[in-house]
């Protein structure tokens, strides 16, 4: 088994890069179902990252159904039929049209999700949305604080639906939007986008 793994560039999304690199090895057949992954230490050395970063990447791959772990033995490639149906890798997020496509998808989802949330939300849900929105208003667009509060707003809306499937899908897309901004080096920053996003959020709360 010969793997093509390289050190990853430094940044706020190292675990995403590591997970994407391992996913690529699986997709291209260099890692096959049943194959054991190198140890945490070996992967950390190969990628030039800490073991904590590797653990985060492994946890992500496990949640996507791409690998499974057994205590005392390590991590193994799962059968492809166990993998999450929808995944968006780091290379895809770097494409110029990815941010726009994801942003449009999230906007369409929110129309229906917000309508359901409006009929089921509690005072606590509204307060959580308002806190997140206040945080977005005071943070520069695309900054870590802005992205954290944006995701917090969508989590609050998702929670208000009381429908775990809708919530999970909305959060999945929202997290990919966040990663797309990070992958682009925050090149998507603009006053127009900030106003558009805030306006959409404010309409949900109206």
Minimum mean pLDDT among 7-11, 21-25, 79-83: which range? Answer: 7-11
Whether residue 203 contacts residue 195, with contact meaning beta carbons closer than 8 Å, is answered with no
Q: Does domain 14-82 have CATH number 1.10.260.40?
A: no
Q: What is the pLDDT of residue 185?
A: 55
CATH of 94-205, one of 1.10.760, 1.20.120, 1.20.5, 3.30.70: 1.20.120
Per-residue CA distances from 143 to 16, 115, 205 (Å): 18, 29, 23
Whether residue 198 contacts residue 137, with contact meaning beta carbons closer than 8 Å, is answered with yes
Q: What is the pLDDT of residue 182?
A: 63
Question: pTM for this one?
Answer: 0.55
Classify residue 53 as exposed, middle or buried by CB count within 10 Å of its CB (0-12, 13-18, 19+): buried
- Cβ neighbours of residue 105 closer than 8 Å, sequence gap 6 or more: 173
18/6 Cα distance (integer angstroms)? 9
């Amino acid at each position: 088994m010969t793997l093509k793994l390289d050190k990853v560039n430094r940044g706020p999304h190292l675990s995403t890069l590591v997970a994407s690199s391992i996913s690529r090895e699986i997709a291209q057949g260099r890692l096959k179902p049943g194959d054991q992954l190198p140890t945490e230490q070996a992967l950390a050395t190969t990628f030039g990252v800490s073991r904590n970063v590797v653990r985060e990447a492994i946890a992500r791959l496990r949640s996507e159904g791409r690998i499974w772990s057994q205590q005392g033995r390590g991590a193994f490639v799962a059968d492809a039929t166990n993998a999450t149906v929808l995944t968006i890798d780091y290379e895809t997020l770097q494409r110029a049209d990815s941010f726009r496509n994801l942003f449009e998808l999230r906007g369409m989802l929110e129309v229906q999700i917000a309508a359901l949330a409006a009929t089921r939300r509690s005072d606590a849900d509204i307060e959580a949305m308002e806190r997140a929105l206040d945080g977005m208003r005071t943070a520069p667009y695309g900054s870590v604080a802005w992205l954290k509060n944006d995701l917090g707003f969508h989590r609050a809306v998702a929670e208000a639906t009381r429908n775990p499937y809708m919530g999970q899908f909305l959060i999945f897309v929202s997290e990919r939007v966040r990663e797309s901004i990070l992958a682009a080096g925050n090149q998507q920053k603009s006053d127009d986008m900030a106003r558009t996003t805030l306006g959409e959020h404010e309409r949900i709360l109206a």
